[in-house]
Amino acid sequence: MEIARVAVLGAGLMGHGIAQVAAQIARSEVYLTDVRQEFLDRGVKMIDDSLGRFVKKGELTENDRAEVKKRIHATLSLKEAVREADLVIEAAPEEAQLKCQLLSGVDKATPQRTVIASNTSSISITMLAAATKRPERFCGMHFFNPPQLMKLVEIVRGVKTSDETVQTIKMFAEKMGKETVVVKKDAPGFIVNRILIPALNEAIFLVQEGVAEPADIDKAIKLGLNWPMGPLALLDYIGLDTTLSITNVLSGETGDPKYRPSPLLRQMVRAGLLGRKTGKGFYDWTEKK
């Protein structure tokens, strides 16, 4: 199946980046939607800023930048965004009930041929697919932050996902310049977060217990394990609220105490210290670009 028109639901941290890559690399017509105009405006501005960085690096011309922007259509109307889409990529906040409600509405508003994918980082694909009447044409398409730079996409099968759907998503991800892995069993956290989240949570415990300062913990992991970014800086990029949601899903779905979120993580989320998106997390981002 050829993917020419894509709808991206959510213009936030991940959604705007997915929309940009679909328009810039795959050269698709992209309809970007969100629930409030200010969210859409912010997403479109982040896309323009990102394209501007590619221009400064000499990887795009100003004409290229203008052409990409022409292929991205921002709208508050969910129906307008999805009604003729070949592929819908849901990138709403990591809340199961919210996603299910949204996906149910998408299912009613799209042609039966449309493939629906979720960018969830931990929620059961089988459960999300059950909110639609096309579970065989539904799968996980998990991008990594920032989608403009990170090469990996996890393709996650639900219980009823068809081979054809997996192949369609794989081909489109590759058209977007991505490398793919197939998660053949719908397991909480898929591959990357199943391994990453306990490591990030342990870094938070080190801060909570006063073992070392955040900068020294990050330095140790960068130099000792050759990570490109330390775990606490990475948490600030991901968003502590998103991380808490993932730990709650992993803990609840598996019952394994190793996924239980640290008390400090809960406390920081309650205080609104979510990382870059709020200006402060483990680091102060208010004066950083």
Q: Locate 186 and state its tokens.
A: 């719908």
Torsion of CA 10, 21, 65, 31, to 10 degrees: -40
Alpha helices in 209-283 (DSSP H): 214-225, 231-238, 240-254, 263-270
Cα distances (Å, whole numbers) of residue 135 to 48, 106, 130, 138, 161: 35, 13, 6, 5, 6
Helix (H, G, I), strand (E, B) or coil at 168: helix
Q: Locate 211 and state its tokens.
A: 């073992």
Q: Locate 49 and state its tokens.
A: 């800023």
Query: What is d(CA 65, CA 203) in angstroms, rounded to the nearest whole number?
Result: 39
Among 72, 96, 86, 64, CA closest to 18: 72
Among 84, 183, 81, CA closest to 124: 183
Q: Which residues contact 253 (CB under 8 A, 6 or more apart)?
A: 124, 188
Sheet with strand 87-90: strands edge to edge: 72-75, 29-33, 5-9, 87-90, 115-118, 138-143, 152-156, 179-183
Q: Locate 134 and state its tokens.
A: 């096309």
Could you give the residue numbers annotated as active site? 121, 142, 154, 193
Among 89, 110, 84, CA closest to 99: 89
